[in-house]
A and B are shown apart, each in its own frame.
Chain A
């Protein structure tokens, strides 16, 4: 196709141009789904970008475009970055998957890294974090601390990543509090402070005194603060401005080491397609400071669980576990394999309601 070859030759020319001045600068692009000031998901990716700049100094140049809708707009933004000479492009939302693959085909010399997806190519890697490990810790604290025995959960989209988090939190809340009940609201957005705040308020009105969120803004934290006597957990970022209460702990995504390593790989010419899925052990998932609002003994147990996961001694999905419909999933002592986890589309036994479809 003419267009493809035109782009490819342009990319080639640029590729040559960049390699000619390779000693100068490696250009790294970032495509964000929300604004860098969301205080959550995109904020942490941008911290990763800044870490790359700090680590490599004059040797890199980074560019980013924020609030890019998932779809054709993302494709254009990526193409634009590639045309302007980016050597490595991080696309940081699930919905960028097909656009990333499309653009990668046109620019074989540019490396792409897609977060949370599953499609790879010669120049496309995927990476994600085992957020569900952090959810296990949250579930434990939530189960211990809830008085109404109702935990509210703000889901973004019913995709495996989010369902994994719900299951993991539920299993560990249930373990320490057999009466616990989860109420789940699907917001169908990653970032929409108004919708997220509404969802939090509805859950609180329904009696939830713990709010877990899988969306990117701090709006649910603010809603919980206003309601009083509700606890929350920071999502994707520490959200420590809401500590010690409502925010009692958090899951922090630490992308910086990965971004630095991958940028280094491009500089060295050692970049290869990988499928990275790291957790607490590797430091990609961190547990934010557990505040004093949590009783000391609960805090200790939570930290012990974190340490066990870091040491590889404990897996959040360890049998015996059944699926929601009552069928057996994992036998005593058996742990879930990554394949099942990656495509998880069922609730575990005890959760109420259906996954929307």
Chain B
């Protein structure tokens, strides 16, 4: 018989090895899945992981990895701070939407004025929108002790309704023949989050994501507040004795993760997407939760995990069109990644032992 035995101390080696083992296991079982679907598993996995990075058209896909990965990293960094302290913001998707609405709204309010200060105002408005939306669950939790998981999640659906409403009304393109959706910010130069170097995929959102990684790293390792965050998550009682103010921590963690999600939404709507439309959000806020955990809630880990997720998205699309793999198979493949991560994560805190059968 096999039993799980709790380790006296979490295994450091396993906590680093888990993501790698999970990726390998996903490749093996994903390969089996693809084989069952009648595709060559080596070719399929190769297409997903190799093609975007080193394939014939990598010159196009590599920048796209940045475009796809940046919002994931930016949101996940914010979420990870709260997650470390045991504060669960599940509603980043809603904060992402509100950031986009506020950011785009601020920009469109100036249309067609051409001025250098419009884009910075949009950035502030976007962060404010996300912060505002995340502050609702934060405030309710601090004041009334509500559960932030539920409140933040429910506010996603409220945000989606707001998105539909502004797409059909307030921000609707007056020259859009009655169709929903705002003006395209890509064709409004002062508000356009264009690539900084053409063809590089680097837009302001990518830069901000990288800054956020560095900022989070410094905060967690060099700053008292970061210490408090870690302490609250790892030893809540000790945190209390250390004088951590839980209300302040909740407001800070939720507010910051909201602001970062709002920024991600604002950079997306003013750049790659261009339009506030009913279908603007495609799940970055939820995928970022996976990215945060895949990256072990560590800033550098999140950076790598964001890249990996982006890779499976883009590689998955290539596999679809080149090999005819169904979209659902790609989604299962991505789901496996989280599943195996959580499964192997068990080994960080537990070890497997063959138990001696007890003699009666």
- Taking CB atoms, residues of chain A closer than 8 Å to B148 are none
Say yes or no: A73 contacts B282, CB within 8 Å. Answer: yes
Check A342 for interface membership: any CB of B closer than 8 A.
yes
Given A2-B199, A64-B321, A73-B282: A83 in contact with B180 (beta carbons within 8 A): no
Q: How far is the CA of A242 from the CA of B139 in the complex (A)?
A: 50
Is B54 engaged at the interface, CB distance under 8 Å to the other chain?
no
Alpha-carbon separation in the docked complex, A3 to B317 (Å): 22
Task: Tell me if B165 and A69 are in contact (CB < 8 A).
Answer: no
Verify B280–A65 contact, CB threshold 8 A. Answer: no
Evaluate contact between A80 and B327: CB separation under 8 angstroms: no
Closest to B319 in A: A65
Which residues in A have their C-beta under 8 angstroms from that of B273?
A: 71-72
Instruction: Collect the chain A residues with CB atoms within 8 Å of residue B321's CB.
Output: 29, 63-65, 77, 80-81, 84
Task: Please tell me if A314 contacts chain B, counting CB pairs below 8 Å.
Answer: no
- Residue contact A84 to B164, C-beta cutoff 8 Å: no
Q: With A69-B282, A70-B279 given, is the CB distance from A356 to B317 under 8 Å?
A: no
Q: Is A157 a contact of B320 with CB atoms below 8 Å?
A: no
Q: A356, B57: Cβ atoms under 8 Å?
A: no
B168 contacts across to A, CB distance below 8 A = 158, 356-357
B64 adjacent to chain A (CB < 8 Å): yes
Query: Contact at A80–B199, with CB atoms within 8 Å?
Result: no
Q: Which residue of B lies closest to A94 (CB)?
A: B179
A residues contacting the other copy or chain, number (CB 8 A): 45
B199 adjacent to A65 (CB under 8 Å): no
A345 within 8 A of B: yes
B282 and A71 contact, CB distance less than 8 A: yes
Q: Which of A3, A35, A69, A160 contacts B198 (CB 8 A)?
A: A3
Complex CA–CA separation, A4 to B198 (angstroms): 8
A294 within 8 A of B: no
A194: interface (CB < 8 Å):
no
A185 lies within 8 A of chain B by Cβ: no
- B226 contacts the other chain (CB 8 A): no
Does A20 interact with chain B (Cβ within 8 Å)? no
Tell me the count of chain B residues lying within 8 A, CB to CB, of chain A.
43
A319 sits at the interface (CB 8 A): no
Q: A118 to B331, alpha carbons, bound, how many Å?
A: 32
**Structural contact, A98 and B317, CB atoms closer than 8 A:** no
Contact indicator B180/A159 (Cβ below 8 Å): yes
A343 within 8 A of B: yes
Do B278 and A66 touch across chains, with their CB atoms under 8 A apart? no
Q: Give the shortest distance, in Å, between B22 (CB) and chain A (any CB).
A: 25
B144 contacts the other chain (Cβ, under 8 Å)?
Answer: no
**Contacting pair B278 A157 (CB below 8 A):** yes
Q: Is B275 an interface residue (CB 8 A)?
A: yes
Does A6 belong to the interface (CB within 8 Å)? yes
B-contacting residues, A61-118, CB 8 Å:
63-73, 75-77, 79-81, 83-84, 94-95, 98, 102, 118
Q: Tell whether, in the assembled complex, residue B177 and residue A80 are in contact, meaning their CB atoms are under 8 Å apart.
A: no
Contacts A63-B321, A76-B314, A188-B278 given; does A158 touch B180 at CB 8 Å: yes
Whether the pair A69, B279 counts as a contact (CB closer than 8 A) is yes
Interchain CB contact under 8 A, B57 and A84 = yes
Identify 22 residue pairs between A and B in the complex whose beta-carbon atoms are under 8 Å apart, listed by A's number.
A3-B198, A3-B199, A4-B198, A6-B59, A7-B60, A35-B326, A65-B320, A65-B321, A67-B327, A69-B282, A70-B279, A71-B279, A72-B273, A80-B61, A80-B317, A81-B321, A118-B177, A118-B179, A157-B180, A159-B178, A160-B178, A357-B168
Taking A64-B320, A72-B272, A343-B178 as known contacts, 18 extra A-B pairs with beta carbons closer than 8 A to each other, sorted by chain A number, are A10-B57, A35-B326, A63-B321, A65-B317, A66-B327, A69-B282, A70-B277, A70-B279, A71-B282, A72-B67, A72-B273, A76-B314, A77-B321, A80-B57, A80-B60, A102-B186, A157-B180, A160-B178
> Ordered nearest first, which 5 A-B pairs have the shortest CB separation?
A3-B199, A72-B272, A345-B178, A357-B169, A67-B327
